[in-house]
Every structure is written in structure tokens, then in C-alpha cells.
Amino acid sequence: MNILTLRHLDSSPAPASGCDAWGAPSAPAIIEDLDTSSPFASWDNANPLAAAPRPSPEPLAPRLATWSGWLIDSDGQASIQTWTGQGWEALRSACDQLEPELDERGMSVLFRPHAAHVLSDPRSCLTFLQQRESRAFALLLDPVSLLTPEMLPDAEDHLDRIAQTLLAHPQVPAVILSDAIVSDTGQIAHAPLAEGALPRRVLDRLIDRVRSSDAAAVLLADPHAQRARLGSV
């Protein structure tokens, strides 16, 4: 299993154990090989449905990873229109703007799905991949971010469906591998393996599925400690 990790480029302290390493930071970050530090993707924490992401003139990595995005309502909050044709049209428009430049530069964008975003479940992710059979677009699969607190009691079934639908897809080159917690705000957040709410058998099953796929595993918190846990959870 190829192991990747997230590194913030401003040298800010790593998030405390149990905190979500992906939702808060706005500083530049890169996803890289844990052993060789080879760049896999740069991370952009912006909302691509508000403004299409643009690769930097001198990119740090051959891929740009970002959210799948959400629409904003008149109060500045996430809009329920995100899950409608309006949200899909915004994503289509962003991809149409990006694709010529990505093709010209030999780059790709990895959209990271989330239960509150336009790519919110396995079906919407698969539909997007089927509509965009292009090397320019792929997924940074994040099974935990596709869960909601209400889904935790049946997490094994939900994670099985996510894995069965998407893990073998050639446009899924990497998977964020983590445990899950319910944050103080009542939302799902990432936690280090075996330090969250997911039963060990559920983690074992998810890890085995990632290990048997061609996708790389992205580890959070202390990645070296996380890698040591892969065989013990």
C-alpha cells in the first residue's frame, strides 16, 4: 500500500490528535509520499463552485486536490440547491473552464467529496466520473467525509457501499484513510485510526479494501504512527 500524507507548507503546528486536518487550514498544503516526499497533489481548501480553481503557474505537484464544492445562499450559508441541477451545473461549468488548461499542462484535478457538497454520496461520485471520462478529473475519495452523524450506527454498510462503488474505479487514485468522530459542532470529523467511533472490524474491513485496491492511502495526524496502526487496528 502506497502511503501519502498531508503537509502544510507554512510550517504551522500539526492539528491535535482527533482534529480534522482538512477542514480548517487555508495555508498552502501538499499531499506527498510519506517515505520519499515525492509530491502527489497540492491541496486547495477553497470552494470550486464559488470560483473555479486554477493550478499555479509553477505547480508543486502534477495534481490539484480540492473540495467538490457547495453553493452559497443569500445568507452566506450552504444552500440546499447544492444537491440539485443547479449544483451540478456549477460543477460542470468549473470543469469546463479547467479542462483545456489541464489538458495542455498534463495536470489533473482531484475532487474530494463530502456529504454536504455536490458530490455527496457514492452514486453522485460515480455519476460524475461517468460523465467526465477524462484524465483531467478524478476523485480524492474520503469515506469518512461521506458519512453524517446519523449514519454512524450503520457505518459498516455505508462504508462497504462506498468501497464497492468507487474503490476499483481507475479515476480514484487515492483514499483518505481515517477513523471518525462527532465534533463539538455535531458534524463528522476525522480522527486517527482506532481513536474514533468506528468499530475495529469496520476499520479492518476498510483498510483491507484499500490495501487490495490500486489506490494510495492518505494518512492524517502523525502519519508514521498511523502507518504502524494499519496492521493493528
Residue 83: left if φ>0, alpha if ψ -120 to 50, beta else—which one? Answer: alpha
Domain borders along the chain are 3-229
pLDDT band at residue 57 using 50, 70 and 90 as cut-offs: confident
pLDDT in the model for residue 26: 53
Predicted pLDDT at 165? 97
Give the model confidence (pLDDT) of 8-37 as tens digits: 876 554 443 333 545 444 557 899 999 999
pLDDT in tens, 200-227: 999 999 999 999 999 999 998 789 988 9
- Give the C-alpha separation, 197 to 194, whole Å: 8
User: Directed axis angle between helix 122-131 and helix 155-166, to 10°?
Assistant: 10
Let me know if domain 3-229 sits in CATH 3.40.50. Answer: no
**pLDDT tens for residues 68-123?**
999 988 777 888 999 999 999 999 999 999 999 999 999 999 999 999 999 999 99
pLDDT in tens, 139-196: 999 999 999 999 999 999 999 999 999 999 999 999 999 999 998 889 999 999 999 9
What whole-number distance in Å separates Cα of residue 136 and Cα of residue 111? Answer: 11
Q: What's residue 15's pLDDT?
A: 45
Neighbours of 51 (CB within 10 A): 11
Average pLDDT over residues 124-139: 93
Alpha helix locations (H) across 145-214? 155-166, 200-211
